[in-house]
Structure 1
Amino acid sequence: MRRKQAKIATDAVAFEAFYRRHVDGITRFLARRIDDPHTVADLVADVFLAVFDSAHTYRPRLGSEVAWLYGVARNTLSAERRRALRESQLTDRVSRRRPLDTDDIARLEERIDAEQPARRAFEAMAGLPEGERAVLELVVIDQLTVTEAAAALRIRSGTAMVRLHRARRTLKELPLVMEGTTG
């Protein structure tokens, strides 16, 4: 698996295959958290650029390819949120975006609309401690296993299971919370 990761940094065909395998999942991950199609498109590109730049850091013993990728996506999203907090004017944000054509915007708006229930779940989860919320998001919303979520968050599987249990107990009235994988 490590060889496969290192290969995407040097082999355009391998990188394209990796991208095609995961672009929809990463787009869904970001569309659940961001409601602007321009930002979603930019962050998807940023995630795969970060993957390309850091493929040599992937260690299979620390988790699956998917867990590593979602860790990169979470880091990219966190960096974007920090950047957005520092932004002082909306016009500044708009001026740095690459223009999207009508089809791109329509597809991203459809994706954002489809993720509306997940965004409502995020609002309900906002009161949870960060650690519990992060595990719950990755397992319930993004459909990672508890083991993959633990690897993405760089915590032990047992810790992830405890956090997931606490989060589910707190939000037991929210039907979506009880869904997701447990292994």
Structure 2
Amino acid sequence: MERVQRFVARRVEDPYLAADLTADVFLAAVDASAGYREQLGTPVGWLYGIARNVVAGERRRKARELRANQRVSGRRLLTADDVGRLEERIDAEASARQLIAAMGELPEGERAALELVAVDGLSPQEAAQVLGIRVTAFRVRLHRARGRLRSQSLQLVSTPEEAIS
């Protein structure tokens, strides 16, 4: 065991890592013991081969870690506020998708009335003119559209608390 430990310790700088890797060598040897064949070499040579592979695996892992660190170095990490803003944006996007789907289920006239006011920013008078109807009729369509959306949004939420918020 000491020979394998020295072999590993000469190849890594951290003594704690050397101890961990030495343990990994013996675990790998136990796992692979059924595959050992005397005619291919001595047990010591076989064990050193396992140690070499374990050390090489650790070097590859370190190299991958270094490359990953280099990719993110110089980039600002996300703060709790950033994560909070991202979560808010994701929630808003989900709500927007639900609203768009609900608007798609409205009758054509009601959907057009709602889009002209809410999306295009027209006044009720301007929107009524675009649709070629009286302002009073437009306001009725808009009221109905908003009512249908409100009732659909209550069906989309699962608890009364969500409907209030």
Query: Aligning the two structures, in what range does the TM-score lie when normalised by the shorter sequence?
Result: 0.3 to 0.5
Higher relative contact order (CA 8 A, sep 6+): 1
Higher helix fraction (1 or 2): 2
Q: Normalising by the residue count of structure 2, what TM-score does the alignment of the two structures yield?
A: 0.39
Structure with greater Cα Rg: 2
